[in-house]
Homo-oligomer: A and B are copies of this chain.
Amino acid sequence: MTEQKLIFTQLVNDALHSEIERLNPGRVFYIADSNTARFVLPQLVDDNANVITILAGDVNKTLESTAKVWKALTDARASRNDLIVNVGGGVVTDLGGFAAATYKRGLRFINIPTTLLAAVDAAVGGKTGVNFSGFKNQVGVFCNADSVIISTVYFSTLTADQVLSGYAEMIKHAMLTGRREFADVLKYNVSQREPGDNDLLLRLLQESVEVKRRIVAADPTEQGLRRALNLGHTVGHAFESLAMKRMAPIPHGFAVAYGLVVEAILSHMLMGFPAETMHQLRAYVSEHYSKFRFTCDDYPELLALMSQDKKNPDPQHISFTLLTDLGDPVTGTIVAEKDIRDALDIYREL
């Protein structure tokens, strides 16, 4: 898989045009969702551009939507030499990337993520795909974009929850990196963003993406180190699923933020992760994300969800990525149920 070119800039238009010039395609097709087609595309292209619009929302990240994209490309006689530009959140970059990677066995494509989460996710790893038969990202391919243009200029239209959701992944990356990065991320007041701090957020985002890029490059096939990226997700997924069953769903990033706190507690209990750092994290998360509410009656269900998590290699044991310190992850740590219960107790009491 060729590496994708990452461009961090607030001048998206300039970057896009120079990338199109570099790639020198026959024609350019833009894939957007119903929102970005209306609010973002007019800033990038004129009325004559070839635009393929899909419906917004994860429920539309389907094979049927992909077939509509393939059909539109076919009807327009798109050729192997043409270029796709995906403009949108994760639904557009995942689905548009999959459509591009499979139309005539692969067109080149550029991603322009318009949400913080898509910027962190789509920037590295080459994961494309759609949901299928009730499973997320069940059908797809690994395929890098030719370039990814990352900017924070579009984030001003995101809801606070959307920004927080993406930011949880940045907290995770910082925890996997080191003391300075962690301090930088916790210094930023993500709930009260100022109009002037776009450039600061772009710099933090660039550092965060660099962390992910290093980890993925060291382990492209997800066998070892890359599992470190699962930090916060073993507990986070269980919280997310429990909230779903209660018919009170929480955003994925919120579940990850809560999961990071519980797993920091576990790391402290079992791996000597510093108590002070654990408390700094907990304070930041409760200030910006509040807290996940549950009782000890929920423990059996939470433990069952953790053991069944698709990234848990053996359902007989629950495996975690834990930290001995900031920047020192230990993947595949099997933790006894009793310790998990203790950590959940501490989380509830803190």
Contact = CB atoms under 8 A, between A and B. Distances in A.
Interface string A113-154: 000000000000001110011110111111000000000000
A17 interface: no
Interface string A46-88: 0000000000000000010001001100110000000000000
**Number of chain A interface residues as a range:** 20 to 34
A234 B63 CA distance: 35
A132 B67 CA distance: 9
B140 A127 contact: no
A97 to B, nearest CB: 11
Given A70-B133, A74-B133, A138 B63 contact: no
Interface of A: 63, 67, 70-71, 74-75, 101-106, 127-129, 132-135, 137-142
Contact of A141 (B74, B133, B137, B141): B141
A129 B105 contact: yes
A141 B104 contact: no
Contacts of A142: 105-106
A343 to B, nearest CB: 29
Given A102-B141, A103-B138, A129-B105, A67 B71 contact: no
A221 to B, nearest CB: 10
A101 B63 contact: no
Contacts of A127: 105
A104 B311 CA distance: 13
A261 B63 CA distance: 44
A70 B102 contact: no
